[in-house]
Structure 1
Amino acid sequence: MDTPYGSAPLPVWERPEPQPRAAPVPLSRAKIAATAIRLADAHGLDELSVRKIAKELGVGPMRLYDYVTNRSELLDLMVDAVYAQIAEAGQHAGWRATVLAIAHATRNAALDHEWFADLLGGRPHLGPHALAVGESTAAALSQAPGVRDIDELQRALGALNAFIIGALRREITERRTARSTGTDEATWQASLGPYLTRMLNTGRYPTVARLVIDGAHLNAEETFNHNLVTILDGITGP
């Protein structure tokens, strides 16, 4: 297939859909991605395979290779489908409102699709919906008072993305750990509380003691929003 880039194949988002076959089960990349997302939501990425997706769709595995050539392309389609949900956050009045909406939509998407957090911060996401979200975010940040040139925009985007990726991975990891071990806060306190009390009573960790004894159990969503606002305040500058 000739492309504007010589012999390099077109990325999965730009390749035309294969010609329909006279088969009992019609397929499309959107249908394959939606099925893969359902399986990943239920069982995680480690359990995801072309064979399992094909079985769920009621087709032979080889039919899927007409639509995606490898697992990376499959993940690309899945990720961009999630970005389509995030893109619905849309534009808002003012740069800050737009960034807040996109960040919270990203968090909601990661909570709905935990595997999505695993793929954040890896190779660039370049699907059309991912690019739309990136454009909206960058365009909004470029309007922040403290962002005066392209270098400052790059740094602002880097700081924002680093926060979002780190916050979401930590929240998802904690949720998975609690679910997989069945360890709730009361159980954790009962098992490690006596040890921690002994250590804190030594007086060697006064600030940690204050955090443990006086610190409140913070709500995850409120903490995410508070820290996000702090990042945006820093981007705004003096």
Structure 2
Amino acid sequence: MAQQRETVRRTPLSRKRVLSAAVVLADESGVESLSMRKLAQELGVVPMALYKHVANKEELLDGMVDVIVGEIDTGASGEGWKSAVRQRVLAARQILLRHPWARRVIESRTNKSPVVLEYMDSMIGMFQAGGFSVDLTHHVMHAMGSRMWGFTQEVFDDSANATAEISPTMLHAMAEKYPHVMEIAMRADHDDDSVVGQGCDDQFEFEFALDLLLDGFERLHEQGWTSTGRR
């Protein structure tokens, strides 16, 4: 162990090494517990040494997002835009499931780095390579939203676990007041072995919504849809 730590200390510090170590720490302990001091300890350096590579915590988080986006497989082996987009989005989802903290960090970023912009540009290019107009592609990207990164904000996120902690009396009262919400939230046919956890935000729900979107995009494209004709 001592020899391993000594090897770490002797390895030249670089931005890539700092960001990679930060991602590992976030994977292990959550991004909330990540600090420059803790990261420096992990790398065997003084905290000030980190600031030669990242200006502050926000820049560190920006760089961590770049690492995550860089892990997404952007190669598309399927034929046609629809298959290619589907593969890309599901590849992104696998990365986000591997790094659960990344979703919150991606949502919190206000600036788009070159790595993020390149990914978005590539995604847009997949639709345009399929013959989509700039007009339709614009609205398609709005509809895709965070799904291009492999996640969505679920309306019934982990609802089964949440309702399990509510007393029967309270559940009965809620069922009377919000019958439709409770009927959906209490459905028992969710997969207990979901990659995300018990509840609606599992792989099936994600792919179900993704396929609905892609089918809709395909129909609009074939119809020659334009936004001017809908306003």
Q: Same fold (TM over 0.5)?
A: yes
* 1:43–1:190 distance in 2 versus 1, CA, 3 Å: closer
Shift of 1:118: 0.8
Deviation digits for residues 118-176 of structure 1 (CA, Å, limit 9, x no counterpart): 12343243233x3342232111122446x32x2321211111124456944449x946x
1:28 aligned residue: 14
| TM-score calculated relative to the size of structure 1 | 0.71
Change in 2 beyond 3 A, CA 1:207/1:132: same
Distance apart, 1:225 and its partner CA:
0.4
* Unaligned ranges ≥5, structure 2: 1-8, 195-201, 224-231
Specify whether residues 26 and 140 from structure 1 end up closer, same or farther in structure 2 by C-alpha distance, changes over 3 A only: same
Q: Show the counterpart of 1:195.
A: 170
Letter in 2 for 1:216: D
Residue 96 of structure 2 corresponds to residue 114 of structure 1:
no
Structure 1 residue aligned with 2:197: none
2:28 aligned partner: 42
1:13-63: per-residue Cα shift (whole Å, max 9, x none)? xxxxxxxxxx73411111111110111122222221111111000011111
Identify unmatched segments of 5+ residues in structure 1. Answer: 1-22, 179-183
Query: What are the residue-to-residue correspondences of 1:70-219 with 2, within 5 Å?
Result: 70-86=56-72, 88-92=73-77, 93-121=79-107, 122-128=109-115, 130-144=116-130, 147-148=132-133, 150-163=134-147, 167-170=151-154, 174=157, 185=161, 188-189=163-164, 191-200=166-175, 202=176, 207-208=180-181, 210-211=183-184, 216-217=189-190
Shift of 1:190: 6.5
CA distance in 1, matches of 2:150, 2:81: 22
1:206 and 1:66, CA in 2 relative to 1: closer, same or farther beyond 3 A? closer
Deviation at 1:112, TM superposition (A): 1.4
User: Is the 1:76–1:127 Cα contact (8 Å) retained in structure 2?
Assistant: no
Indicate if the aligned counterparts of 2:65 and 2:106 stay in contact, CA closer than 8 A: no
CA distance in 2, matches of 1:212, 1:24: 54
Question: Using the alignment, how far apart are the partners of 2:182 and 2:20 within structure 1?
Answer: 47
| Paired position in structure 2 for 1:15 | none
Describe the shift of the 1:110–1:63 C-alpha distance in structure 2 as closer, same or farther (beyond 3 A): same
Q: Distance in 2 between matches of 1:67 and 1:213?
A: 49
Q: Which residue of 39, 47, 52 maps to 1:66?
A: 52
> What is the aligned-residue identity percentage?
28
Give the TM-score normalised by structure 2: 0.72
Q: Secondary structure at the match of 1:191?
A: coil
CA distance in 2: counterparts of 1:135 and 1:213, whole angstroms: 40
* Pairwise CA distance, 1:213: 6.6
